[in-house]
Structure formats: C-alpha cells, structure tokens
Amino acid sequence: MTPAFRPIAFVLNGRRVAVRVHPLKRLLDVLREDCRLTGTKEGCGEGECGACTVIVDGKAVNSCLVPVAQAAGTRVTTIEGLHGRHRLQAAFAELGGAQCGICTPGMILAASTLGPKPTLDEVRTGLAGNICRCTGYEGIYRAIKAANKARGARREARGEGREARGTARARTAARRRRP
Amino acid sequence: MSRSVGRNVVRKDGTAKAVGTARYVDDLTFPGMLHARTIRSTIPRGRIVRMHRRFDAAGFTIVDARDIPGRNLVSLIQEDQPCLAEGEVRHAAEPLLLLAHEDRERLLQAQVEVEYAPAPALLDARESTHVFKEIRIARGDLDTGFREADLVVEGEYRTGHQEHLYIEPNGMIAVPEHGGVTVYGSLQCPYYVHRALCVLLDLPEDKVRVVQAETGGGFGGKEEYPSIIAGHASLLALKSGRPVKLIYDRTEDMIATTKRHPSTVRHRTGVMRDGRLAAMEIDVLFDGGAYCTLSPVVLSRGCLHATGPYRCDHVRVSGRVVMTNTPPNGAFRGFGAPQTLFAADVHMERIAEQLGMDPVRLRELNALRPGDSTATGQVLGADAAALDVLRAAVSRSGFHRKRRAYRGTGRGIGLSLFFHGAGFTGSGEVKLKSRASLELTPDGVRILVASTDIGQGQRTVHAQIVAEALGLPFEAVEVAAADTSIVPDSGPTVASRTTMVVGGLLKRCAEEMKARLGALTPRAYLRRHGPLVITKQYEPPPGLVWDDDTYQGSAYGSYGWACDVIEVERDPVTAGTRSPRRWSCATARWPTAS
C-alpha cells in the first residue's frame, strides 16, 4: 500500500507544479521521474560532482542532496527552463564546452549564476563543485568567456548599464567553499 | 572545395547536450519496466555455501547462474569469467544473484544473506604464480650493451589502481522482443556486448540487438564491463518478460567495475657518459585481478611502450600479468602504456640526475627520430615527431628558465615525453576486419559505423572526414546511431583507432561514392539509380608486418607523439599540491576538442 502524501508545490521553470511523493524523495528524482525532466543528471548521488545542479531561488544547488520537501514554495530552474535560448548553451555547444555532455546541464546552470563578468578565478571557484571528466575545463572556460562577451556586446549596443550581481557571486563562492 | 578537417566545426551532438535533450540510458523508460539490482560477494575468495533470501519474493524476479540459457561466461579472450558466480568466489564484489522489481524502494530494501566458506586471498601480484600472459621483446644483445656502458642506473616504479570516473555511471536496459532481446546502454563497443549476449543467452546473432544510448564518458571503463551488465539485465528481462533497467550508482560502479592495472616496473639501464642509452633491461608486472578480461592485450601495449619514445640498440622487455583475488582490471585510456611510460620517463629523470645532465638534453639525445627503429625493429617514418613536440613544449612553457627559477622553492616544473601506437596492437586490426559504410541520402550522406561517441567527438570527426572527402558541407553528413541492427561491425571504440582506422575506412567509402556520383547531386543520383550504400573493410597498409610469436615487426600502423609539461606548487598548509599551469604539445584534426 502506497501511503497518500500531501502535495508539495513549487514553481518549476516558471510553472507551478505540485507533486504527491514522499517528502524525503530527492529533488533530483522528483524532477526526473515525477516531472519527467531528464536534463538533470545523476553523477554521484552525494553532492560531489555537480551533474545534478539546478537553480533553487537563484542559487545553484545539488538536487541529489535536497529532499523535495525543502523545495516547497521555491522557484526551481532546470536546464529545460533555459529553453535552449541561453547564450551559455550556444557557446557550450560551439566552443567545446560539452563533450560527453553528462556534466553539461549542471555546468551551464552553475555558470549562469556567476554574474555578468566573472574573472577566470571567479569562474574556477564558482564551478569548483562541478566536475567535468572530458574537457580539462579549458573548453568550458572558453565558452563562458565568449558567452559573457556576446552578452556585453549586446548590452552596449542597447545602451544598457551593467547590473551589479556581486551578491549572487558571493553566494555562489560561499556555497562552493569546502571545509 | 570545402574544408572540414582541421577546421573548427560545431560538434554534431553539442546542441542536444547543452539544451538537455540528449538521452542517456537512465533517461529512457519503457512500459512495464522493472528496476534491477546485483547482489555481490563480500569476501575476496571462498566458496558459496548458501544464499538466504530475507524478503518477501512477491513481485520480484530473481536470477542466479541456473537461469542462464547459454554458457555462464563473459565472452572475451579467455573463457574464465562467469557472468554470475557459481559455487566459487574469486573477488570481492563478484556478481552472485540478480533481483528485479517494479518498485525501486522495495528492490533496494530486499536483503540477501550469503553464507561462505572463506579461503585465503591472494592480494599481492608479486606473489602470484597464476600467469595470464607473458611477453618478451628482445633487440640486440643486452650483455654487449651493458659492457659498453659507462654507468648503470636502476629503478623500480609502481602505480596503483585507478578509476575511470566517467561522470555517468554504467547502466543498461534490456527489452525482450521478437523472440530475443534488445539492449540500450552506456557502452563503447556494441559488438562486444552483442557477441557476449549471443553466448550467454544462446541466441542467434539476429535475435540480439545492441543500441548505444548517449554515453557520459568511457575512458576504457565501458569497453568490456558493459557486456556483464547487459548480460545481467537481459537474464532478468528474459525471465520476467519485461523491460529491465539496471543502473549502477556511483559506489557500486567504483567497487565493482574494472580499474587500471596496478604495475611494478623495474628498469636497469646502461648509459654512456655523454647520455646515450646503451642497454635497457625492463621488467613489467601487471596485476590483472581475478579474471583475465583484456589483460593480455593491456600487457602487450604496456610492453611495447616500455622503452618510452627512446632509441637503444640493446633492449630486453620482460612482461607478465598475473591473477590476484581483486576485482578484475581492464581497459583504461592508454591501455597499459601509461604505467610503463610513467616508469620510463621517471627513470630518464633519474638517469639525468646521475649524469648531472639537463633532462631535456638527455631526451633530445635519445628521442626516436625518423628512420630510427623501435625495440620490435619497426622503422619509423617521417612522422616520428618526438623531437618536434619536445622542443615546442619546452619553449612554450619556458621550461629551462622556470626550472632554474623554481629551484629551492615550493614550486617545480617537470615534463614527460611519450608516444602512443594508434590502432590495435600488432595484427589486431587484421584479425578484426573492421567494416564501415556510407549511405547516400537525398541531402548528402549518412555514416553507418559501430564506433561510438563517448564524448571524444567520433560523430563530428567522422563527419568531417567524410565531408572533406566528398566535397560536401559538414552539415550534409548525418551519423547513424551505433545500433547493431543497422551498422556493420567497425570494431570497438578503443585504442585511438576510431579516427585513424574507422575514419580511414570512411574516407575510402567517400572516395568511391564521389566517383560514383560524378557530377550528380545525391538527390539526382538516387532518382536515377536508386539507393547507394558503400562498405569498406580494413586492409593493412603495405609493408606492415607483425609477428605475434617473436614480437618483432610493425607493432602499430602509426604513432602519436606528445610532450606534457606541468608546474606543481606545494601548499605549505595542507601539504597538498596544486598545478597552476600545464602545456601539452601534439597534433590534431579538430582543434576545439583537443
């Protein structure tokens, strides 16, 4: 007998969803199995590799470490939520940021939280929780740099100022720090 | 003509991977699918006395060795490894029993207690007398070499187990259909899995279909082990009559699947005062683990690279790979060569130290050049680029300046010069008889090969080669899925053979197709003449002769040459090390991926 669970509601890629699952079910499994979004990958299941990275309320988190109950009332973005239109996605595809591709969705989501113009050191620190086994990271750094350059160029063309996202960057750095 | 090779193109699978739509095995589901789990031994050696089921079997499918319709073995080189242990256990984490259930939670909670009669385990390769394979390579006369030498330098170098750590763990789905089975999985070699399943399940070739799902890295770790997982999933699928998904979690993958062979390599080298190598005596010992797997071939490549990319007239390489009661070791990038190359190049540093000589100068003096011959007597062609890559790496990295500047600090800089035989060792390619096909489509062509893209970019490089040979745009070349029901056996995706060997076959297919097309567009040709598929089979290049018995001749059709330089910094607080900079010099066809 499967016990009846109370619905857990959150906003997934801009849409409100409610799932009736065990509150301790991993957010990763809820996304992949109950929401049928398989772009989020499992690499280690213990928060080491970052393949399952999703964005919860603006922060990159390992969805394998989040019981779905903790996601109640939050805004969750997965790779599907970028709709293939994010500049990082094109840059990763074109510049060698993706090879076997299993780390790519998590890597792109983590990179999207790094602020408008991260330095190479900030990128390295910001992505320290995302392991890539194929690229040696050079292709990833190249893609992030190019994506940010394209973004800057577009903004200048539109005459917009650069918004400050220092806080997001500080949060990411704090999250990535290991004991 | 449009250029594709050597130009940066967008990888064929890049967008699907960046957008999240690429489908890996765990992303696939089938109606009525069961989840599966492997019960493994917890001791390294002993006899299984009894297995006690400590769960309610309702809804479970349970498979042991008695359920195997064909032969209980993992078909590879020697027929020594069972797919499921029968009576005897030879290593920890050996598969004993398989369970499947549609509810994953119930599956994970099921307890099986195994009663053993343990036996003493052999865990040290140096004490093993069970030899899987022995190899000897001899050139010149060792005694003469040592007599001429001014100095003898000795050293012993060891490496341990190493895990591939592809980010996607191993996994398979088996679907019973058409009186046989179709498996979808994370794998490098569809036809290895195909052959293993035919033997295990006693099915004819056309009743077994193997399809590669998008694969999240392999590095050799998905060369032979997937045959076991596919076998397990298929046994459960055939018994239950339902699709079965068997995905390893990270822990199981690390504990149970193959690792790089641990090695002990001893060098005894005669050296002239001016740095020339006069004699090299090299002893190679690999720990094969509990079953043979690919160990003989791993040892072979290890021995063939044991001298490093250096010339010497008097050489003896003695190698053996032995059995221990540890999980079997297997394919891993470089396939035995990294272990022996590591030993050879650390030993070169030791020689340089003893001679008081600059280590770059020592390597320059001894590096293999065009016209030189290797320990097996293979005369190298004009593409022997050891000196070029060495000089490029040294100059780009500022090696000499830094080496002086870092002396006595917590920093250091080092280099490694190496070569790598492309393709199968010795007569391997001749025995494989690989085939590749090219099919004309209305808008261009479709590549049909069993080679798999595991992140290295096979789809893209093959499409580049075909596009260039046909003079078609890169975008007009499609690459079919590696599915044994539609692609010919192009051999395994291993041994740096995919670009050179299978790519070479495709180039020949494309050249013939170009001649057949003449001035017609693909669409016009199809309208006038109907479908066109061209298949080519491997033929050894002229002059390539190899003798498996004497280990003499051309070990490989061609070699890659490379030099790595790395800076290392010691952290005085953690006592760990950090590598702030590295350089790698080699040659490439697709710059983005290298």
ipTM value for the complex: 0.93
**A169 pLDDT more than 70:** no
Given CA atoms B504, B506, B512, B518 in this order, what sign does their dihedral have? Answer: negative
| CATH number 3.10.20.30 is the correct assignment for the domain at A8-81 | yes
- Token readout for B209 is 């279909």
**In the block, residue with structure tokens 């490496």:** B159
Q: Which of A116-125, B153-162, B279-288 has the lowest mean pLDDT?
A: A116-125
Q: Could A101 and B456 be called an inter-chain contact, meaning their C-beta atoms sit closer than 8 Å?
A: no
- Token readout for A41 is 């990958």
**According to the model, what pLDDT value does residue B571 have?**
85
Confidence of residue B1 (pLDDT cuts 50, 70, 90): very low
Distance CA A26, CA A68 (A): 6
**Adjacency order of strands within the sheet including B435-441:** B477-479, B444-448, B435-441, B533-537
Of B15, B18, B454, nearest to A108 by CB-CB distance is B18
**According to the model, what pLDDT value does residue A174 have?**
42
Of B19, B23, B167, nearest to A131 by CB-CB distance is B167
Q: Which of A149-163, B298-312, B373-387 has the lowest mean pLDDT?
A: A149-163
pLDDT above 70 covers a percentage of chain A that reads 84
**Contact call for residues B360 and B402 (beta carbons, < 8 A):** no
Q: What is the per-residue pLDDT across B183-201, written as a single tens digit (0 to 9) for each?
A: 999 999 999 999 999 999 9
Mean model confidence pLDDT for chain B: 95
pLDDT, average across residues A59-67: 98
Q: What is the per-residue pLDDT across B205-228, written as a single tens digit (0 to 9) for each?
A: 999 999 999 999 999 999 999 999
**According to the model, what pLDDT value does residue B259 have?**
98
Distance CA B551, CA B557 (A): 15
Confidence of residue B264 (pLDDT cuts 50, 70, 90): very high
**According to the model, what pLDDT value does residue A151 have?**
75
HSE-CB of A1 using CA atoms within 13 angstroms:
2
**According to the model, what pLDDT value does residue B465 have?**
97
**According to the model, what pLDDT value does residue A161 have?**
39
Kindly provide the residue ranges of all beta strands, DSSP E only, lying in B56-105, ordered along the sequence. 61-63, 88-89, 95-101
Q: Could A102 and B24 be called an inter-chain contact, meaning their C-beta atoms sit closer than 8 Å?
A: yes
**According to the model, what pLDDT value does residue B585 have?**
84
Q: Which helix (H) or strand (E) holds B135?
A: strand B131-139
Chain A's closest residue to B582, CA to CA, is A136
Q: What is the per-residue pLDDT across B231-241, written as a single tens digit (0 to 9) for each?
A: 999 999 999 99
Query: In this complex, is the C-beta atom of B474 within 8 Å of any C-beta atom belonging to chain A?
Result: no
**B14-21+434-537 and B31-119+167-256 have identical folds:** yes
**Contact call for residues B45 and B121 (beta carbons, < 8 A):** yes
**According to the model, what pLDDT value does residue A155 have?**
65
Query: In this complex, is the C-beta atom of B454 within 8 Å of any C-beta atom belonging to chain A?
Result: yes
Shortest distance between the Cα of B465 and any Cα of chain A, in A, equals 19
Best of B19, B251, B566 to mutate (most A CBs within 10 Å, chain A): B19
Nearest-CA neighbor of B269 among B351, B147, B212, B210?
B351
Q: Could B26 and A94 be called an inter-chain contact, meaning their C-beta atoms sit closer than 8 Å?
A: no
All structural domains of chain B with their residue ranges: 14-21+434-537, 31-119+167-256, 127-162+259-425+557-593
Chain B's closest residue to A101, CA to CA, is B17
Q: In terms of DSSP bridges, do strands B244-247 and B34-40 run parallel, antiparallel, or are they unpaired?
A: parallel
Q: Could A95 and B592 be called an inter-chain contact, meaning their C-beta atoms sit closer than 8 Å?
A: yes
pLDDT, average across residues B9-24: 97
Chain A's closest residue to B452, CA to CA, is A100
**According to the model, what pLDDT value does residue B140 have?**
97
Q: Which is higher by pLDDT, A160 or B170?
A: B170
Query: In this complex, is the C-beta atom of A67 within 8 Å of any C-beta atom belonging to chain B?
Result: no
Architecture of domain B14-21+434-537: 2-Layer Sandwich (3.30)
Q: Could B167 and A46 be called an inter-chain contact, meaning their C-beta atoms sit closer than 8 Å?
A: no
Q: Which is higher by pLDDT, A152 or B494?
A: B494
| CATH number 3.30.365.10 is the correct assignment for the domain at B31-119+167-256 | yes
**Contact call for residues A35 and A81 (beta carbons, < 8 A):** no
Kindly provide the residue ranges of all beta strands, DSSP E only, lying in B454-551, ordered along the sequence. 477-479, 533-537, 546-547
B127-162+259-425+557-593: CATH topology:
Aldehyde Oxidoreductase; domain 4 (3.30.365)
Query: In this complex, is the C-beta atom of B241 within 8 Å of any C-beta atom belonging to chain A?
Result: no
Distance CA A145, CA B581 (A): 19
Shortest distance between the Cα of A79 and any Cα of chain B, in A, equals 6
Q: Could B24 and A41 be called an inter-chain contact, meaning their C-beta atoms sit closer than 8 Å?
A: yes
Three-class HEC string of B274-297: CCCEEEEEEEEEEEEECCCCCHHH
**According to the model, what pLDDT value does residue B587 have?**
56
pLDDT above 90 covers a percentage of chain B that reads 89
Q: Which of A169-178, B135-144, B154-163 has the lowest mean pLDDT?
A: A169-178
Nearest-CA neighbor of B396 among B568, B577, B566?
B566
Contacts of A82 (CB under 8 A, 6+ apart): A88, A89, A108, A109, A112, B19
> What superfamily would CATH give domain A84-176?
[2Fe-2S]-binding domain (1.10.150.120)
Confidence of residue B495 (pLDDT cuts 50, 70, 90): confident
**B3 pLDDT more than 80:** no
Q: What is the per-residue pLDDT across B292-334, written as a single tens digit (0 to 9) for each?
A: 999 999 999 999 999 999 999 999 999 999 999 999 999 999 9
Domain span(s) for CATH 3.10.20.30 in chain A? 8-81
Torsion of CA B518, B433, B231, B302, to 10 degrees: -120
